[in-house]
Chain A
C-alpha cells in the first residue's frame, strides 16, 4: 500500500544552524506534499506545501524541495530558533483522493539555545 517514510526520527541542532528533514513516498500518483508542525499537546499546523508541478518553494526561513523522479521531498529550515522545536510531519496525497493524506512518522526537532 501507499507509504511515506520520514528521516531522521529525531534531530538536534544549535540555534542558528540549518535543519533538514527528508521523506520518500511510494505512490507515483501523489501530487500534493504538505508539511505540518505539531507542538506538544497542540494541533498539527500546516507550515508549507508543494505541488507536483513545482520543484521548490520557499517561505522566509522554510523551504521545501521535491524530486518526483526519485519520489522524495525535503524540508529545510534555516537560521533555526528555539521556537522551531516541535515534531514535524511530512505527508503525501493518497492516490485518487480528494486531499486525503498519508503521513510520515514524524521528526522531533530540538533547537538548543
Chain B
C-alpha cells in the first residue's frame, strides 16, 4: 500500500522563476492538501484539492496555484518566486467528507536564490 509520494525531493530556483511540485496521494485517498513549512515553523495550509477543484485556500497569494488530476494526484505551481518562498512544501492526503486524518508526504525542499 503506497504512501504519499512527492517529487522532486530538492529543487533550487532563482528569484522570478516558476516551479511545479508534484504529489501522489496515499492509495484510496481522494483529497490533497498542500502546506508550506518554513524552517523552524509548523506547516501552513496553502490549499486543498478535491474532485479536481480547489476547495479551500489559506492565506497565500495568487502566485500559488494548483491542479488535481483524475487519478487524484496533484501539482503545486508557484510563479514569480521570491526568496521568502524557500521552504519545505508538504503534500497531505486524506479522504473527502468530514474531518479526517491527513497523511503527509516526504516534502519537496525548495531553495530560491
Contact = CB atoms under 8 A, between A and B. Distances in A.
A binds B: yes
Interface in B83-103: 90, 94, 96-103
B90 A103 contact: no
Interface stretch (A12-20, A62-70, A77-85, A92-100): A92-100
Interface residues on B, range: 20 to 34
Given A31-B99, A89-B42, A100 B90 contact: no
Interface residues of A, number: 28
A98 B59 CA distance: 16
A91 B31 CA distance: 19
Q: Which of B90, B99, B101 has the most CB of A within 10 A?
A: B99
A46 interface: yes
A16 to B, nearest CB: 28
A105 B55 contact: no
B73 interface: no
Given A43-B90, A99-B33, A100-B56, A49 B45 contact: no
Contact of B100 (A4, A42, A99, A105): A99
A100 B48 contact: yes
Nearest to B97: A98
Interface of B is mostly: loop
B25 interface: no
Contact of A102 (B45, B101, B102): B45
A29 B80 CA distance: 36
Given A32-B99, A98-B48, A105 B41 contact: yes
Contacts of B105: 43
Interface in B16-48: 31, 33, 40-45, 48
19 contacts: A43-B4, A43-B104, A44-B43, A46-B102, A49-B101, A91-B42, A94-B56, A97-B56, A98-B96, A98-B98, A98-B99, A99-B94, A99-B98, A99-B101, A100-B33, A101-B102, A103-B42, A103-B44, A106-B41
Interface of A: 1, 4, 6, 31-32, 34, 36, 42-46, 49, 51, 89, 91, 93-94, 97-106
